[in-house]
Amino acid sequence: MALEQIKMPQLGESVTEGTIEKWLVKPGDHVNKYDALAEVNTDKVTAEVPSSFTGVIKELIANEGDTLAVGEIVCTIETEGGATEEVVESAPEQPTAETVKPAEVQKHTAPVNREKGAKARYSPAVLKLSQEHGIDLSLVSGTGNEGRITRKDLLKIIESGEIPVAAQAEPVVEQTQATPQAQVTAPPKAAPVNVPVSAGDIEIPVTGVRKAIAANMLRSKHEAPHAWTMIEVDVTNMVQYRDSIKNDFKQKEGFNVTYFAFFVKAVSQALKEFPMMNSMWAGDKIIQKKDINISIAVATEDALFVPVIKNADEKTIKGIAREVNELAAKVRSGKLKSDEMQGGTFTVNNTGSFGSVQSMGIINYPQAAILQVESIVKRPVIMDGGMIAARDMVNLCLSLDHRVLDGLVAGRFLARVKEILENITKENTSVY
């Protein structure tokens, strides 16, 4: 028999961790290759973790509610063939998350001993968490592979409130060669958030999805220098055209042709003409994406998802309307697949559906921009010749990553979107 490991998969291009929402198996269960093992939440999608092997579930390493970095072990499976069972049993026993208690870590007065020549290697998620909470990693016993410290180890310590910090005396220098990443001085522990709670207040637990959304939004705001600009567009002709065909379209196609489909089509056309808007920051370079894949924001009662319309520039208004309808239905029924959340290059958000007329969106990392389509409202407008008329007006609000985009290209892009929208008429536009 051989003992195989199932690790947290990467369920999106910018996804770095996932939360075990629900286990679908238990120790002793027999599973086939590709069977679903657990439901996992990220900031982008709820998906199932498939088995990579056929065998018997040996141990569930992660508990429901645990958040693990991509690549961390979630469970083990015993399979036939490979290493013998005796070899597995003779290996040194690794402590599990249950055997290592946060309170025990506090008892260390010197750095945890490592084998001679071993290097202190920490994942970016572990380093970041230790810095935020002032945890001295040299005093932490890891439960990961070969004793590595996992994000789950630190979360247990943080929850206990007993943070291991180095003694004030001259520290004992460990005779090992640490990697540059490990040589990070942890800042002082952040002050806890003390929120007064009164009688009648309701405490709402933060779900794994909400934690993941918060982490991704925080990363976007911290890493991308946001800039913002807005343009107003006269969409009177577009509104009249769409309203004139909506009933026949619904009867013929079985779904609605919404204003939003016209906006997505205009944006995808403009992105083709201004490809720099379809780019991403990659540290020492900027990646200008070939495909135009539009992410759309779809909200549920307690979460926000961003499914993707692939190759939107090649689709008709009808095709876009169908995909918007289908993706939104999948989000709200919990049937959205992970591959339907990946590959987005630019986000269009229909904030106008809530009556908003002006907003500043947070960029969908690692994309370079997000466009908020606000509510269409009738306003008096001075026309050519000085006449005042009631027109259907909409504000388009663009948030952009100033590392990638400058005001010039953003302004020209918005002007082109405006031009396309204002020239949509029954005579020169087809939804098919």
Asked whether residue 1 is domain-assigned, the answer is yes
CATH number, residue 38 = 2.40.50.100
pLDDT tens readout for residues 175-190: 333 333 333 334 444 4
Q: For residue 160, which amino acid is it? A: S
pLDDT at 216: 80
* 353 and 410 in a common domain: yes
Which residue pairs, CB below 8 angstroms and at least 24 apart, start in 93-98?
A: 94/143, 94/145, 94/147, 95/141, 95/143, 96/59, 96/61, 96/143, 97/61, 97/62, 97/63, 97/143, 97/152, 97/153, 97/156
Q: Whose CA is closest to 71, among 2, 150, 4, 137?
A: 150
Angle among Cα 41, 43, 46 to the nearest 5 degrees reads: 30
Q: H or E element: which one contains 39?
A: strand 36-41
Count Cα neighbours of 18 within 13 Å in the Cβ-side half-sphere: 29
Kindly provide the residue ranges of all beta strands, DSSP E only, lying in 201-262, ordered along the sequence: 226-234
Domain limits for position 233? 224-422
Residue 372 sits in the same domain as residue 324: yes
* Distance, CA of 348 to CA of 164 (rounded, Å): 45
Judge contact between 237 and 74, C-beta under 8 A. Answer: no
What contacts 314, CB < 8 A, 6 or more positions away?
none
Q: Does 151 fall in a domain?
A: yes
Q: What is the pLDDT along the chain (432 residues), one digit of tens a residue?
A: 788 999 988 776 667 788 888 899 999 999 988 888 998 887 666 778 888 899 999 999 999 888 888 889 999 999 876 443 333 333 334 434 343 343 344 444 345 554 444 445 566 567 767 776 778 777 888 877 667 787 778 778 877 767 776 544 343 333 333 333 333 334 444 456 788 889 999 988 887 777 777 888 888 999 999 999 999 999 999 999 999 999 999 999 999 999 999 999 999 999 999 999 999 999 899 999 999 999 998 888 777 789 999 999 999 999 999 999 999 999 888 888 888 989 999 999 999 998 999 999 999 999 999 999 999 999 999 998 899 999 999 999 999 999 999 999 999 999 999 999 999 999 999 999
Q: Do 410 and 306 sit in the same domain of this protein?
A: yes
Residue 144 and residue 61: Cα distance in Å, rounded?
10
**Which residues lie below 8 Å from residue 184, measured CB to CB, with a gap of 6+?**
127, 131
Do residues 151 and 169 both lie within one domain? Answer: yes
Helices 236-253 and 317-333: crossing angle in degrees, nearest 10, is 70
Of 330, 346, 345, 303, nearest to 19 by C-alpha is 303
Statement to judge: residues 116 and 83 lie in one domain: no
Q: Could you tell me if residue 401 is inside a domain?
A: yes
What pTM did the predictor assign? 0.61
Asked, for residue 206, whether it belongs to a domain, the answer is: no
Is residue 225 within 8 Å of residue 401, measured between CB atoms? yes
* In-domain check, residue 64: yes
pLDDT confidence of residue 102: 39
Q: Which of 140, 166, 189 is the last residue of a domain?
A: 189
236 and 356 assigned to the same domain: yes
Q: What's the confidence (pLDDT) of residue 139?
A: 81
Residues involved in catalysis: 402, 406
Q: Which residue has the tokens 């087809």?
A: 430
- What CATH number is associated with residue 293? 3.30.559.10
Does residue 271 sit in the same domain as residue 392?
yes
Q: Which of the listed residues 91, 110, 133 is the one where a domain comes to its end?
A: 91
175 and 47 fall within a common domain = no
Say whether both 11 and 40 belong to one domain. Answer: yes
Number of domains comprising the chain: 3
Q: Collapsing DSSP states into helix, strand and coil, what is residue 69?
A: strand
Same domain, yes or no: 87 and 104 = no
CA 317 to chain centre: 27
pLDDT per residue as tens digits for the range 167-223: 443 433 333 333 333 333 344 444 567 888 899 999 888 877 777 778 888 889 999
Separation CA 376–CA 102 (nearest Å): 55
User: Domain for residue 360, yes or no?
Assistant: yes
In this structure, is residue 215 part of a structural domain?
no
- At residue 314, the pLDDT reads 96
Q: 250 and 334 share a domain?
A: yes
The answer as to whether 131 is a domain residue is yes
Last residue of a domain, one of 40, 72, 91: 91
Same domain, 237 and 259: yes
